A and B are shown apart, each in its own frame.
Chain A
Amino acid sequence: MPETPVQVLLVEDNPNDVELTLQAFRRNNVTEGIHVARDGAEALDFLFCTGAHAGRDPASGPRLILLDLKLPKVDGLEVLRRVKADPQTRAIPLVVLTSSSQERDVAESYRSGANSYLVKPIDFNRLRDAVRSIVAYWLALNEPPLRRAA
């Protein structure tokens, strides 16, 4: 049975931020294909098809990872390092979407291979604009890496 392809993996622990981000996607006409992981461990299970996600087809996505940095269990920077260290997941574009613009977070994220770094805006209109740009660029304009033969 073919799985529905996952466009975006949203790794976010704050329920309000999850809902608002999903609303921002919806208001940009993206209503399907978003999987939410509520902590770092769950995100890693999803990406590496282990634990609760054992048996998931890695070829079914995601095409983009949106990653918060402050997460329970395994924190965002650790998820980032693991994703970028593994040849299976390295090529998936990863956008850090977090609260902080602290230099050490920005520097450490790029050093670990993040493709982009966005600070979650407080103004919802700006969040919607940011999501519009994400959708337009990463899901439409950007040429995805070649799919690994499943």
Chain B
Amino acid sequence: MDFFSKLFSSDFMPHGHCYYWRPAILWLHVISDSVIALAYYTIPVALIYLVRKRRDLVFHWMFVMFGVFIFACGTTHVMNIWEVWHGTYRLGGMVKVVTAVASIVTAVVLWPLVPKALALPSAAQLAAANADLAAAYGELESFSYTVSHDLRAPLRGIDGYSSLLLEDHGEKLPPDARRYLDLVRESAQQMGKLVDDLLDFARLSRHPVAKDSVRTSELVRGVVEELRDAQGDRHARVTLGPLPDCRADEALLRQVYRNLISNALKFTRKAERPVVEIGSRAENGARTTYYVKDNGVGFDMKYTGKLFGVFQRLHRSEDYEGTGVGLAIVERIVRRHGGRVWAEAAPGRGATFFFTLGGGPDA
């Protein structure tokens, strides 16, 4: 206890005596220790700045440990300077104890990290992986370019010649032969829609998401008008609730609404009094959830897992036309905005599709 009570007392000869107070040797030590301390104090600042800027840094706590260790080392050099004039060697010793603990802990945790750090991909490996990805991306792009040009050509031939056969020689054909030709044409056209939809879907991953503020309500009104004009269908009653402005890629968000609303119109076609309700809700400060609700045929919730897959359909194509790409596109767009899409439905009692658009001020 005597030791700690005398922690700050200077009852020994100061270290300067060992140097015989000769200025040359004394200042050589003092200046060198000052420079070392200064350097050691700036290193942790740089490390902490690095860690704060790069939150994704692996083993970032290791950088903090290095910071503490180097700071402690710097302090021992400051003590060396102090001790030239003051014999507080108990205090100096305690500073060394702290430095020793920081050093040994750093050393001990460093070793097991070495193999893990070695297992991390190097910048060169990442660059190579990136180049591979870019090449695969380029191949995919030229693949879809080829599909778009070459895969549609035979379909035009199939539909075109069937059509000419029906028009020019139809009266010579028995009714079932004419029906077969109609089916050939239908199949060719369906295949064409599949190719187009698949290309649209592939195009999405190349389309960069350019977010801007969007007047959601205006956009939705436009989509509703466009769809009703295209389908020449004013059968359904469409109601618009409050739709707060959002930050999104306008073209992509329009695609989301186009797909959801056209689905709602499609699946309420056979309803007696079809109603499509478009709105949003924000519960206690959570991010806004937008929804499109209909009172159409709905679906069994046990199939929700399939809902957003490419080419997945929950209805027979003779009842409701479609390729099964629309909701996959919706899901991909919403995901690329950092949001989520889900549905609630029951057979015969309509479906509601909800989506969010990611959080944060710029999300």
The answer to whether B153 and A100 touch across the interface, beta carbons within 8 angstroms, is no
- Measured between beta carbons, the chain A residues less than 8 angstroms from B192 are 122-123
User: Taking the complex as formed, is B120 at the interface, i.e. its CB lies under 8 A from any CB of chain A?
Assistant: no
Say yes or no: A14 contacts B159, CB within 8 Å: no
Instruction: Tell me whether B164 and A122 are in contact (CB under 8 A).
Output: no
Asked whether, in the complex, the Cβ of A99 is within 8 Å of the Cβ of B160, the reply is: no
Bitwise interface map of B from 178 to 207 toward A, beta carbon under 8 Å scored 1, else 0: 000000010011001000000000010000
Q: A16-B157, A20-B156 are in contact. List 7 more A-B contacts (CB 8 A).
A: A16-B156, A17-B157, A70-B150, A99-B153, A122-B188, A122-B192, A123-B192
Give Cα A100 to B150, complex, Å.
9
Residues of A within 8 A of B159 (CB): 122-124
Q: What's the Cα separation between A99 and B147 when bound, in Å?
A: 10
Name B's interface SS.
helix
B148–A124 touching, CB < 8 Å: no
In chain B, what residue has the closest Cβ to A14? B153
0/1 per residue, A1-36, Cβ < 8 Å to B? 000000000000010110110010000000000000
Q: Are A100 and B148 closer than 8 Å at their CB atoms?
A: yes
> Footprint of A on B, CB under 8 Å?
144-145, 148-150, 152-153, 155-157, 159-164, 185, 188-189, 192, 203
8 A–B pairs (Cβ distance < 8 Å), ordered by A: A16-B156, A69-B149, A70-B149, A99-B149, A99-B152, A120-B156, A124-B159, A127-B156
Chain A residues, Cβ within 8 Å of B189:
122-123
Nearest opposing residue in chain A for B145, CB measure: A102
> Which of B150, B152, B160, B185 sits near A20, CB closer than 8 Å?
B160
A74 to B32, CA, bound (A): 75
Contacts of A23 in B (CB 8 A): 160, 164
Q: Which of B145, B155, B163, B164 is close to A100, meaning CB atoms less than 8 Å apart?
A: B145
A17 to B155, CA, bound (A): 11
A99 & B148 in contact (Cβ 8 Å cutoff): yes
**Contact pattern, A 96-122, Cβ under 8 Å of B = 1, otherwise 0:** 001111110000000000000000111
The B-contacting residues of A in range 53-104, CB under 8 angstroms, are 69-70, 98-103
User: In the bound complex, what is the Cα–Cα distance between A121 and B157 (angstroms)?
Assistant: 11
